[in-house]
A = this chain, B = another copy of it.
Amino acid sequence: MSEDRILHPGLRARLMSAEQAAALIQPGETVAMSGFTGSGYPKAVPQALAAHIDRAHARGEDFRINLLTGASTAPELDGALAQVDGLAMRMPFQSDPNARKRINAGKLDYLDIHLSHVAQHVWFGFYNAIDTAVVEVSAILEDGSLVPTTSVGNNKTWLDLAKKVVIEVNRWQLPEMLGMHDIYYGTALPPERKPIPMVRGDERIGQTTLRCDPAKVAAVVLTDAPDRNSPFNPIDDDSRRIAGHLIEFLKHEVARGRLPANLLPLQSGVGNIPNAVLAGLADSGFRGLEAYTEVIQDGMLDLLQSGVLRYASCTGFALSPDANEEFRRNLDFYRSRIILRTQEISNHPEMVRRLGCIGMNGMIEADLYGNINSTHVMGSSIMNGIGGSGDFARNGFLSAFLSNSTAKGGSISSIVPMVSHVDHTEHDVAVIVTEQGLADLRGLSPKQRARQVIAHCAHPDYRDALQDYFERACRDSYGKHTPHLLPEALSWHQRWLDTGTMKA
């Protein structure tokens, strides 16, 4: 059964079970795996490794690994390894409930890294050397090169740098995807770096397969298992309003001559609200849009189908099961319209700045002065991570942050006097959008921003309290550039911890 998928005889000879492959990974190793938002992650070896670790723990042995990936993965990877307490360190992004629980219990060290930084930091030697890479592919070609699957992430770097490599060949993945990937081998360490030779987001600058020295391949494992992404929520009225405000703003920018009629390449974070924005764009009248982003989610397939979106460049898919079926059924259509790149290129500051990407990302909370918290609940508890939002917010044309104005049944205001953690500073935020409206912060001083945020983004239940804080801060603050009352600045968060609501 392996003959059509493993064309390299030497590598076919390394076929073994997931259990045998997992046994090659030793306690304390730094293991780099494929996977980016529930696509292209190894489906069998991580679970076999988790079982292996579980048995070791039952014998009283210490067995944990450091785990690197592209971004978040799925229950079969992060979930399984976190469940058995098999992780000592995790980076650069996660969204698994089990892993999150352990991180927030102080039992798992998590490094939350800009996605464009990961590959280069590993090349720079800032982290431990990579002992083992575990990478999913759809096929191994005769020359040993690897056909990528539904995400590329950091796989190029993992395969280049790992001491030993475990390859999962997943028969569920379509070998017909060959040709959709663009793996750029022109990166280098400074001082040997050259310009990235790309001026349009739909250009191809690399090759279609991943290189891997067959001598490093310690195991090849056959799997046949689907990617697993959660379905998106049905689009609700508030998400529709958020999308409406942002799209109205973009049309206004076109009318003012600040954006071309087909905008600039869109980056869209993963989540229900960014997905609602994509849905909103379908009926917006825009044509010929471009996406230079990390992840393709459901809404983008529809936009490609309707011709609203001309192409999408990404590093991975986050498709619901239904959208995944649609993609697989119409692969020929999508093949010419989707490019999967390494995440160092999909998120590269050079490309983001050159293309002038429009960043649209979710947030946990914003404060009066336009600082954004994307990662921490109540200042101390991680949600997921910063992902690529910083790559786009700092270096793109425009950065928009989106959220409902309240959370947890209205007990939390997403607009607070001071954010409890900062992921995007006041220097990096152009636009904040809630279902209440849109605050355009460009060209405004801190106090001017506060007035916009209160008027346009805050929920009516919290608007008066924010206005009251702001007025008293303007009167009593030590400095009046960014007025704050320090004993109160974080009191809304503490009140929620104490009473279950931010309301006074």
Residues of chain A at the chain B interface (Cβ within 8 Å): 89, 103-106, 109-114, 117, 121, 124-128, 189-191, 193-197, 199-200, 256-258, 260, 264-265, 348-350, 353-356, 371, 376-382, 386, 390, 394-395, 397, 418, 420-428, 430, 442-445, 447-448, 473-474, 477-484, 486-487, 489-491, 493-494, 497
Contact = CB atoms under 8 A, between A and B. Distances in A.
A427 B376 CA distance: 13
Nearest to A104: B479
A195 B196 contact: yes
A109 B448 contact: yes
A490 to B, nearest CB: 5
A486 B490 contact: yes
Given A427-B390, A486-B497, A395 B190 contact: no
Given A356-B190, A397-B190, A427-B113, A479 B350 contact: no
Contacts of A473: 380
Count of identical protomers in the assembly: 2
A355 B194 CA distance: 9
A98 to B, nearest CB: 14
Instruction: Give chain A's interface secondary structure class.
Output: loop
A376 B425 contact: no
Contacts of A445: 89, 109-111
A380 B481 contact: yes
A481 B104 contact: yes
B125 A380 contact: no
B199 A479 contact: no
B190 A422 contact: no
Contact of A354 (B190, B430, B497): B190
A164 B234 CA distance: 54
B478 A378 contact: yes
Looking at A106, A190, A199, A379, which has the most chain B CB atoms within 10 Å of its CB? Answer: A190
Given A349-B349, A443-B111, A494-B487, A480 B191 contact: no
